[in-house]
Amino acid sequence: MNSIILDETIKREVKGEVINSRIGGRITIMEPTKMINSTIRGPCIIGRGCEIKDSYIGPYTSIEDNTKIARSSIEYSVVLKGAVIEGVDRLEESLIGEKCKTSQIG
C-alpha cells in the first residue's frame, strides 16, 4: 500500500537541509529536516524535524516527523513519528512503530 501511495502522490520537493548527501528521484523532504552524509533514493517522503545521518534511505520509504536515523540502511519501509534507528545494517519491508528505538544487536 505504501508503494502505491508514493507512486501516485510524491513529487520532488526538497525543503530540508541537504549536507554532503546525494538525493535522486521523486523525494519530498520537509523542513527543518537535515540530511547529513547520506544517500536517498525515491520515491520516498521524509517528514518534518528529522535527522538522517550517515545512512541510506531507499525507495518506497516513508519517514514521519521527528525521526532520527544514523548509520543505517532502510528501504521499502514505513517509520512512524519519533522513532530512533541507529546502526542497523539492513532494514527492509518493515513498519517501525511510533517512538520505537532500534539498533543492531551484536
Please report, for the domain that includes residue 29, its CATH number.
Answer: 2.160.10.10
Range of the domain at 53: 2-103
pTM of the full structure: 0.90
Q: What is the pLDDT of residue 10?
A: 73
Is 16 in contact with 38 (CB distance < 8 Å)? no
Q: What is the pLDDT of residue 6?
A: 72
Q: What is the pLDDT of residue 1?
A: 66
Q: What is the pLDDT of residue 38?
A: 98
Q: What is the pLDDT of residue 66?
A: 98
For the chain, the domain total comes to: 1
Question: CA 18, CA 3: separation in Å to the nearest integer?
Answer: 24
Question: CA 35, CA 57: separation in Å to the nearest integer?
Answer: 10
Ranges of the chain whose pLDDT falls below 70: 1, 4, 7-8, 105-106
Sign of the C-alpha dihedral, residues 104, 2, 21, 53?
Answer: negative
Is 29 in contact with 15 (CB distance < 8 Å)? yes
Q: What is the pLDDT of residue 4?
A: 66
